[in-house]
Amino acid sequence: MTFVKILAQGAIALLVAVVTASAVQAANFEVKIDNFTFNAQQVTVKAGDTVTWINHDDIPHTVTSTIMAFRSKAMDTDDKFSFTFTTPGSYAYFCSLHPHMTGTIVVEAAGK
């Protein structure tokens, strides 16, 4: 293995490490709303991550935290709502129009 090759591999490894690190710092998650269901119903993220809900139903829905930590407007078909979670904890939420629709976002401390 030549010195140049080793150097190149090192650079790639460094690049991968940087990309991974930035992903850990602020990842994006998506929750789909289909057939009056939040999918996935439970999502685990790290503090600093952003969750985006997208409504695929023909009926409007909301994303409403049970402790009012976050609350979307009514989302019509294909509308999105994003929230960045900064504080670790378990966040239960529901659709305030169809309260039998429930979900949870679990937020873990960053860097774990």
Which residue's CB is nearer to another protein, number 46 or number 64? 64
Binding mask 41-80 for another protein (x = CB under 8 A): ----------------xxxx---x-x------xx-xx---
Is the CB of residue 37 less than 8 Å from the CB of residue 57? no
What are the distances in angstroms from CA 25 to CA 21, 29, 30, 43, 51?
Answer: 6, 13, 17, 17, 14
Q: Decide: is 97 part of the binding site for another protein (CB under 8 A).
A: yes
Which residue's CB is nearer to another protein, number 25 or number 41? 41
Which residue's CB is nearer to another protein, number 4 or number 67? 67
DSSP 78: T
DSSP 72: P
- Nearest Cα neighbor of 32 from 80, 76, 65, 86 is 80
- Which residues would be at the binding site for another protein (CB under 8 A)? 35-37, 57-60, 64, 66, 73-74, 76-77, 92-94, 96-102
